[in-house]
Amino acid sequence: NTKRKPIVIANWKLNGGLELICTSVASFIGKHFEADIAICPPYIYMRDMLTFLQHSEISIGSQNVSKFKSGAYTGETSAQMLKEAGCKLCLIGHSERRSMFKENNLSCQIKIGNALNHGLMPILCVGENKEEHDAKITKDVIFRQVTECLEGVELDGRKICIAYEPIWAIGTGASATPEIAQDVHSFIRQELIKLYGEETANSIRLLYGGSVTKDNAKDLLAKEDVDGLLVGGASLDPGHFLAICQHA
Ligand code: PEP
């Protein structure tokens, strides 16, 4: 962990409103963090948050990005638009996008390319479901997701993060143990070494997500290959999220 700067990202999903923005901004402004901190609010709030947070250390990220560049794609937002709006990073392939909005490894691969080409840092989300976990095929699932999503993706010094989010741990209160997270993260690291070589792979930050709270954040982050956290539910309480950020 000494060589990689920790990163903590809040994923608000389809939650929050002006009140949450105000309380979040009030708790984060003027604070210094050892980690990189980002909040991914719904698109409509990004600009407001950026305005309020412009002199803070907090970045704004998006929860998704279009695989298209422009055209007749109702409801979509392109990587270029997000970049222009001041966004620094974007989540790609969150399990909710995969299960409810038909995203797959190929669409993730295209989105990663778009994000990188427009200077957004992709946060690729991977993770197995409960059935796969119980069948002990987690690493096969992760291998497939990582290799297919990154196929043909050249980094050329550009940054990417990977978030391991076991689906059985998302929103369930049943976080993976630090040992499970470390085991899967080190597997991902080995695969990244095969794809990008040791130096690049060792610089890529691997986040854990799934029922992270202020009570388990520290033990998760203590693991060698857990370089950050992706926080859903607990990020909707600014005091709670702040406490998590202060552990990193
Ligand atoms: C998520 O969906 O990215 C997530 C980690 O959610 P939660 O923290 O609520 O499990």
The annotation status of 202 as a binding-site residue, yes or no, is: no
Identity of residue 89: L
Gap between the terminal Cα atoms of the chain: 11
In this structure, of 47-56, 116-125, 138-147, the range with the lowest mean pLDDT score is 47-56
pLDDT of residue 95: 97
Measured in Å, residue 197 CA sits from the centre of ligand 1 at 30
CATH architecture observed for domain 7-247: Alpha-Beta Barrel (3.20)
Mean pLDDT over 94-121 rounds to 97
Task: Give residue 129's pLDDT.
Answer: 97
132-144 average pLDDT score: 98
Q: Among residues 49, 46, 123, which one has the least CA distance to residue 84?
A: 46
**94 labelled catalytic:** yes
Residue 1 has pLDDT above 50, yes or no: no
pLDDT tens digit sequence for 191-238: 999 999 999 999 999 999 999 999 999 999 999 999 999 999 999 999
Q: How confident is the model at residue 132 (pLDDT cuts 50, 70, 90)?
A: very high
Dihedral angle sign, alpha carbons of residues 52, 48, 243, 8 = negative
Range from 5-14, 48-57, 121-130, 154-163 carrying the lowest mean pLDDT: 48-57
How confident is the model at residue 81, as a pLDDT?
A: 98
8 Å CB contact between 13 and 230: no
Helix (H) / strand (E) containing 68:
none
Separation CA 66–CA 80 (nearest Å): 10
Tens digit of pLDDT for each residue in 31-80?
999 999 999 999 999 999 999 998 899 999 999 999 999 999 999 999 99
Name beta bridge partners: 126: 164
Asked if the model's pLDDT at residue 83 lies above 90, the reply is: yes
Q: What is the spatial distance between Cα 98 and Cα 95, in angstroms, rounded to a whole number?
A: 5
Q: Which 3 state secondary structure label does DSSP give 209?
A: strand
Instruction: Determine whether the annotation assigns residue 168 to a binding site.
Output: no
Q: What is the ipTM of this complex?
A: 0.97
Rounded to the nearest angstrom, the distance between the alpha carbon of 113 and the centre of ligand 1 is 24
What residue spans define the domains of the chain? 7-247
pLDDT for the residue numbered 242: 96
For 162-196, what is each residue's pLDDT tens digit?
999 999 999 999 999 999 999 999 999 999 999 99
Substitution candidate for ligand 1 out of 231, 237, 240, 241 with most atoms within 8 A of CB? 231
